[in-house]
Amino acid sequence: SQQGEEDPQALSIQEGENATMNCSYKTSINNLQWYRQNSGRGLVHLILIRSNEREKHSGRLRVTLDTSKKSSSLLITASRAADTASYFCATGGRLDSSYKLIFGSGTRLLVRP
Amino acid sequence: NAGVMQNPRHLVRRRGQEARLRCSPMKGHSHVYWYRQLPEEGLKFMVYLQKENIIDESGMPKERFSAEFPKEGPSILRIQQVVRGDSAAYFCASSPPYEGVDEQYFGPGTRLTVT
């Protein structure tokens, strides 16, 4: 089963609005990361938040982490048409000597001009 | 500093043929990861390698799939006797060899189509 599950699966908003995506996970984590994937392309790393952090900002991105609820959220403020993409959360960090990332199934964001 | 490179970008194979996917990590990176992505799904971990060593292959199918990362040259993901279900995008990622760096840098992927 998936370690991370994003919610919603799809989101359509108007340019200028904020977009919020949520991610839930099941087991203990070292860190949680958010990636963006444009259609048919590779993944771009957006932001990493460690298990001892609660909130992190990067430009128009704001990520929160609640380890008690095993959930994270990604907020994109003042969205632009160029933000249209799929967004994935991934749990990772060094666990059992492995650095593998475990991805959720993603949120497909459409920003309408 | 070039990013992670993968080739070919697109690969078409007939059922029963072999597919060889290549990945060159970023300069200075000695950790390589392979992931598979089916349409409309997230990435699934396959294997984690360091130079000449397989560290974690818990996501690799038991048969037909193998991976290597030789001392010299790119990492290779090899799929023997491909079947239609192997059609997917295969992504390689790399990371540097020191502690405390958990971010992985992804290549553009190889899209495998099995006809």
Q: What is the pLDDT of residues A16-31, one digit of tens each?
A: 999 999 999 888 888 8
Confidence bin at A1 (pLDDT 50/70/90): very low
Q: How far is B37 from chain A (nearest CA, A)?
A: 10
Nearest CA in chain A to B10: A40
Q: Is A44 on the interface with B (CB under 8 A)?
A: yes
Span between the terminal Cα atoms of chain A, in Å: 36
Question: Hunting for tokens 């971010």 — which residue is that?
Answer: B103
One digit per residue, the tens of pLDDT, for chain B of length 115 reads: 579 999 999 999 999 999 999 999 999 888 999 999 998 788 999 999 998 899 899 999 999 999 999 999 999 999 999 999 999 999 999 988 766 567 889 999 999 999 9
**Contact state of B44 with A103 under an 8 Å Cβ cutoff:** yes
Q: What is the pLDDT of residues A28-41, one digit of tens each?
A: 888 899 999 998 78
Give the DSSP per-residue string, B31-81: EEEEEEE-TTS-EEEEEEEETTEEEE-TTS-SSSEEEE--SSS-EEEEE-S
